[in-house]
A and B are shown apart, each in its own frame.
Chain A
Amino acid sequence: MKDLFAVIMLSGIYGLLSASFFVAMDAVDVAFTEAAVGAGISTLLMLVVITMTGRKEKPTRHKPISALFVVIITGGLLIYGTLDMPYFGAADAPIHNHTSPRYINDSMQEIGIPNIVTSVLASYRAFDTFGEVVVIFTAGIGVLAMLSVARRKEDEDDEIASINDSMHQQHLVIRIVAKMLIPFILLFALYVQFHGDFGPGGGFQAGVIFAAAIILYAMLFGLATARRVINQTFIQLIAAIGVLLYGCVGLVSLMNGGNFFDYNVLSSDPIAGQHLGILIIEWGVGCTVASVMVIIFFNFAGRRQFQSLKKQTKHTESSK
């Protein structure tokens, strides 16, 4: 397929389908994340990128036989490797015997929250998750370094005025519906954030949903308006504070005489300490993920605006 728009739409559908596949495989938390990320944000980012880089793929001349050869050999080797794998759904497979029985049997006594995924994510493997959050933060910084452009204030004011003028001619229906929906999306994100201990949900999902609401707003009402609602400097600060909050929980538990991320010492009662630790950590994760996603989108969209502005000025100069 040479039309990249169609390719991206198909990959969005693929994301949604794999989310429903994850539900069928009992991984509700993962499905939640994949539905928000695969079908929502990644599709959007790719669409923004192809508006900048062009929609059509150039047809290639060389024959792809060598690539096919490599791929088939790799696939054949992998299939040969699967012959030693345990069968699908087998309860005695090696991965079910190592650490997970402890998570399943003892997490209620040790952590005291029903959602095992959350207790493993935020408590047993908190150090691991800390690393992931730092990776997300670093990716946000990378995008910022790569794409951020200096903005002029007057341009923004003009743009806001022009968008507000056009409000009643273009996109009227979708703007009003979005205005009705965005508060509920934000509310739902907070519900996912704080209900993550009991049902599927948690900081990662909540962050992505929160960011999706803001991105929806930015798409419909213009980037400048969205920047006025959420200041870019402020959101960069929030991203850093999320990581800092996460790390500080570890440091505080270290100072209270436990190991790094050992929440038992955060409170006199170990279970209450665990609850407190998980709550704060999920909050930090949610902050970082949401703000990094918003930063990424803002920078892509800002770059796009910058490019079109440059083209316009070039055009007017050449016509002069």
Chain B
Amino acid sequence: MDTVITISSGFFILVGCFLCFSGGVGLLRFPDFYTRMHAVGVTDTLGAGMILIGLMFISSDILVFAKLVMILLLTLLIGPTTSHVLAKAAYHNGLMPKALNKLKKNNDKEANSSTL
């Protein structure tokens, strides 16, 4: 039983670490604000959740377990909300995704070339 618990907790923590790490890579490598925020917003919520679940498996105390559950609920609630608010604020302030800008530029070019 002990080995099962240890292995599963290790598995969850490893998956969580991988997700957080990939979120970090995405933050650095993606081209514009929205894709970056997507990378971090999605992976960090899940990654933190996974790490917390992994820690729940090895928590010795019912009190520690309860605290971890509360932190998990809090992250699940707050993580997506903050990403939503960030994206909304960026959109309201007129920041356009890079891909959209490119598309627009191409369209303009085509329009220009067709008129020429």
Q: A and B: direct contact (Cβ < 8 Å)? A: yes
Q: Are B77 and A173 in contact (CB under 8 A)?
A: no
Task: Assess the B85–A174 pair: CB atoms within 8 A.
Answer: yes
Cβ-based interface call for A72 (8 A): no
Chain A interface secondary structure, helix, strand, loop or mixed?
A: helix
- Tell me the minimal C-beta distance from B41 to chain A in angstroms: 13
Interface string of A175-190 (1 = CB under 8 A from B): 0010011000000000
Does B66 count as interface, using CB distance less than 8 angstroms? Answer: no
Report Cα–Cα, A181/B81, bound state, in Å.
Answer: 12
Instruction: Output the nearest chain B residue to A181 by Cβ-Cβ distance.
Output: B77
Q: Which residue of A lies closest to B73 (CB)?
A: A184
> Shortest Cβ distance from B59 into chain A, in angstroms?
18
Give the size range of B's interface with the partner: under 10
Query: What distance in Å separates the Cβ of A169 from its nearest Cβ neighbour in chain B?
Result: 12
B73 CB, min distance to chain A CBs, angstroms: 10
> 1/0 per residue B76-106: CB within 8 Å of A?
0110010011000000000000000000000
- B84's partner among A173, A180, A181 (CB-CB below 8 A) is A173
Inter-chain CA distance A181–B78, complex, in Å, is: 9
- Given the complex of chains A and B, what is the CA–CA distance between A173 and B78 in angstroms? 11
* Total residue contacts A-B, CB cutoff 8 A: 12
Which A residue sits closest to B82, measured CB to CB? Answer: A174
Most buried by A among B77, B78, B81, B84: B81
CB <8 Å contact, A180 and B85: no
Q: Which residues of chain B are within 8 angstroms of A174 by Cβ–Cβ distance?
A: 81, 84-85
The answer for the CA separation of A154 and B110 in the assembled complex, in Å, is: 56
Question: Interface digits, B2-15 against A, CB 8 Å rule (1 contact, 0 not)?
Answer: 00000000000000
User: Which chain B residues (54-85) contact chain A, with CB distance < 8 Å?
Assistant: 77-78, 81, 84-85
Q: CA of A180 to CA of B78 in the docked complex: distance in angstroms?
A: 11
How far is the CB of A271 from the nearest CB of chain B, in Å? 27
Q: Which residues of B lie under 8 Å from residue A181 when comparing CB positions?
A: 77-78
Complex CA gap A180/B76 in Å reads 13
Interfacial chain A residues near B85, Cβ < 8 Å: 173-174
A11 to B100, CA, bound (A): 33
A71–B77 Cα gap in the complex (Å)? 46
Residues on the A chain within 8 Å of B78, using CB:
177, 181
Q: Which of A173-227 contact B (CB under 8 A)?
A: 173-174, 177, 180-181
CA distance A180 to B77 in the complex (A): 9
Q: Which chain A positions have C-beta within 8 A of B84?
A: 173-174
Q: 10 A-B residue contacts at CB 8 Å?
A: A173-B81, A173-B84, A173-B85, A174-B81, A174-B84, A174-B85, A177-B77, A180-B77, A181-B77, A181-B78
**The 10 nearest A-B residue pairs measured at CB:** A177-B81, A174-B85, A173-B84, A174-B81, A177-B77, A173-B81, A180-B77, A181-B77, A174-B84, A177-B78
Taking A173-B81, A177-B77, A180-B77 as given, write out 9 further A-B residue pairs in contact, using a Cβ cutoff of 8 Å, ordered by the A residue number: A173-B84, A173-B85, A174-B81, A174-B84, A174-B85, A177-B78, A177-B81, A181-B77, A181-B78
